[in-house]
């Protein structure tokens, strides 16, 4: 498995993959419908915004409908001859802090039929190199308290539990766990 930058030729397969994850109960909180709409409505922009190291892309809509400014970010896709998943890294230049609305430096998902092959763990490991390149001494990640799978991915990469706090109101109700990986 490697990380690739999605190209226009991958879009039909990407859209099919998104349809699969849209039907997955574990993904319902991850707003993949919006991702589908973005890829269909403006494919050129969707492809371009995978590399946005200056955070110049459009503002980001929160689950409650409010908008926040986009941070610098890099998005890659897991590839084993087919698209397997997606991983994104975002950061605030010059600081380890993130705005409270941004739930961690790195987020990811794997297609249901590609899980338990170590892909998320490897993808996170590869993305940590990008975090080192921008000079971060650590990255923070978040998981739902019940998301044992994602917690396993973080622990496999040396992550340690930091705290459990209420979700920022823009993200709805409930609690969120913070984890830290030292780089």
Binding site for ligand COA (CB under 6 A): 26-27, 107-110, 115-121, 143, 147-150, 152-153, 156
Q: Which residue is nearest to ligand COA (CB)?
A: 152
Whole-number minimum distance, CB 44 to ligand COA, in Å? 27
Whole-number minimum distance, CB 94 to ligand COA, in Å? 25
Which of 155, 161, 166, 159 is closest to 181 using CA atoms? 159
Whole-number minimum distance, CB 57 to ligand COA, in Å? 21
Nearer to ligand COA, 91 or 108 (CB): 108
Nearer to ligand COA, 43 or 147 (CB): 147
Whole-number minimum distance, CB 132 to ligand COA, in Å? 20
Nearer to ligand COA, 42 or 82 (CB): 82
Nearer to ligand COA, 92 or 147 (CB): 147
Tokens linked to 34 = 């919006």
């Amino acid at each position: 498995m490697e990380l690739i930058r999605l190209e226009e030729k991958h879009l039909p397969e990407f859209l099919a993959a998104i349809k699969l994850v849209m039907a997955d109960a574990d993904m319902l909180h991850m707003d993949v419908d919006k991702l589908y709409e973005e890829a269909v409505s403006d494919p050129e922009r969707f492809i371009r915004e995978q590399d946005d190291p200056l955070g110049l892309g459009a503002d980001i809509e929160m689950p409650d409908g409010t908008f926040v400014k986009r941070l610098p970010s890099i998005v890659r896709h897991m590839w084993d001859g087919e698209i397997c998943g997606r991983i994104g890294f975002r950061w605030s230049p010059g600081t380890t802090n993130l705005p409270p609305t941004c739930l961690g430096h790195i987020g990811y998902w794997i297609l249901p039929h590609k899980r338990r092959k170590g892909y998320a763990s490897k993808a996170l490991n590869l993305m940590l190199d990008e975090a080192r390149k921008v000079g971060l001494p650590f990255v923070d990640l978040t998981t739902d308290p019940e998301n044992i799978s994602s917690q396993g991915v973080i622990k496999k990469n040396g992550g340690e539990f930091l705290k459990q706090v209420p979700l920022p109101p823009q993200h709805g109700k409930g609690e969120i766990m913070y984890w830290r990986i030292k780089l």
